[in-house]
């Protein structure tokens, strides 16, 4: 991975370290029974961050799925907010403690409300792109989904509609090879998800999701194409899923050798190595950066734990627009 912008790679690395530190703490909180359900982003961080950084927070729109913790951080969601939501605290700015972990919603940052429904955000992103077209805005919508969601009917419908109308939307598939426990070869016959793009009449590309600059370059091209009226793009980012599907999954369907292989594909050591090789960081600086970020994340967790839980009487608040205040 030749480095043409060391500061960009350093920013990606810091965000990835933050996402990993938050992810590790959420996993532990889940094991302790303090967080009910955790879906990990581990292994997906670089692909999420590099694509999200091509957006303009609050001007473009992002439509995440339940694993997109790192992408949310890249757009401005804080670790403190993530812990508030995961712990179900009343001061959670995204849902007041009502949603599952990593189910964000921030109009200020352009983040649409995350749905637990598989592929739920894909048609929403296309709708947002269509609205931008009608309103004459130069906004781009980016939607994230896994390879399992790529097999959903609404994903096909959304891609076809976006291509027919040449809408400004970028489809980012985080392909970790499993739809929960179903391996990719039992979901589809194509060699690459990006091959499907041609059938819809849109560009498609498949990139190594652990290669920060490769993913960022593909996303920049796709966003620019969308903003300039060139229509949608499908990006397949091939990523390792380093942990089970969720905190409720035992991962027994993967062999010890396969689990070891995905751990070995961790994108963070690769990114650290790139920064060391180009001289953007020394080994000592990298270690200090890790310790600093970890300490900040732990402090954010402690602050969130100390916040009060929601009052039961407010459970039905915000069901309707007139209850917004």
Task: Give pLDDT tens digits for 153-170.
Answer: 999 999 999 999 999 999
For the beta carbon of residue 215, count every other beta carbon within 10 angstroms. 29
Q: What is the pLDDT of residue 55?
A: 99
- The stretch 11-24 carries a mean pLDDT of 98
Integer CA distances (angstroms), 246 to 38, 66, 72, 288, in order: 6, 10, 19, 30
Whether 2 has a pLDDT exceeding 70, the answer reads no
pLDDT of residue 323: 58
Q: What is the pLDDT of residue 5?
A: 87
Global confidence as pTM: 0.95
For the segment 94-124, what is each residue's pLDDT rounded down to a tens digit? 999 999 999 999 999 999 999 999 999 999 9
pLDDT at 143 over 90: yes
Q: Say yes or no to pLDDT of 12 above 70.
A: yes
Please tell me the predicted confidence (pLDDT) of residue 245: 95
- Tell me the per-residue pLDDT of 180-200, one tens digit each, with 9 for 90 and over: 999 999 999 998 999 999 999
Average pLDDT over residues 268-274: 96
Question: When comparing pLDDT for 5 and 204, which is higher?
Answer: 204
Q: Where are the domains of the chain?
A: 6-306
Sign of CA dihedral 268, 54, 40, 188: negative
* Lowest-confidence pick of 38-47, 120-129, 314-323: 314-323
Average pLDDT over the chain reads 95
The whole-number pLDDT of residue 49 equals 99
Quote the longest CA-to-CA distance of the chain. Answer: 56
Query: In this predicted structure, what is the pLDDT of residue 325?
Result: 53
The answer to whether 207 and 271 are in contact (CB under 8 A) is: no
Contact (Cβ atoms closer than 8 angstroms) between residue 174 and residue 146: yes
Quickly name the fold that domain 6-306 has.
Rossmann fold (3.40.50)
pLDDT in tens, 210-238: 999 999 999 999 999 999 999 999 999 99
What pLDDT, in 10s, does the model give residues 34-90? 999 999 999 999 999 999 999 999 999 999 999 999 999 999 999 999 999 999 999
């Amino acid at each position: 991975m030749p480095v043409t912008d060391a500061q960009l790679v350093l920013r990606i690395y810091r965000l990835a370290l933050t996402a990993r530190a938050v992810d590790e703490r959420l996993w532990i909180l889940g094991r302790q029974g303090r967080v009910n359900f955790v879906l990990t982003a581990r292994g997906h961080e670089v692909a999420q961050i590099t694509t999200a950084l091509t957006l303009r927070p609050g001007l473009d729109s992002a439509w995440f799925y339940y694993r997109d913790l790192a992408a949310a951080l890249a757009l401005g969601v804080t670790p403190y907010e993530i812990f508030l939501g995961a712990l179900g605290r009343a001061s959670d700015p995204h849902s007041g403690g009502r949603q599952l972990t990593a189910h964000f919603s921030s109009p200020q940052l352009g983040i649409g409300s995350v749905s637990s429904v598989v592929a739920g955000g894909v048609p929403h992103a296309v709708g947002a792109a269509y609205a931008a077209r009608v309103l004459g805005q130069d906004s781009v919508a980016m939607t994230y989904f896994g390879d399992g969601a790529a097999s959903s009917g609404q994903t096909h419908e959304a891609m076809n509609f976006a291509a027919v109308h040449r809408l400004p939307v970028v489809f980012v598939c985080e392909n970790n090879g499993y739809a929960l426990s179903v391996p990719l070869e039992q979901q589809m016959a194509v060699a690459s998800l990006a091959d499907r793009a041609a059938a819809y009449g849109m560009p498609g590309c498949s990139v190594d999701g652990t290669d920060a600059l490769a993913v960022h370059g593909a996303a920049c091209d796709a966003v620019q194409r969308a903003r300039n009226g060139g229509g949608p793009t499908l990006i397949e980012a091939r990523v390792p899923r380093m942990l089970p599907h969720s905190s409720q999954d035992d991962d027994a369907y993967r062999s010890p050798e396969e689990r070891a292989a995905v751990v070995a594909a961790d994108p963070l050591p690769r990114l650290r190595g790139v920064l060391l090789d180009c001289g953007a960081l020394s080994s000592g600086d990298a270690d200090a950066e890790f310790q600093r970020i970890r300490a900040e994340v732990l402090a954010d967790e402690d602050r969130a734990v100390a916040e009060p839980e929601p009052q039961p009487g407010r459970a039905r608040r915000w069901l309707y627009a007139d209850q917004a205040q």
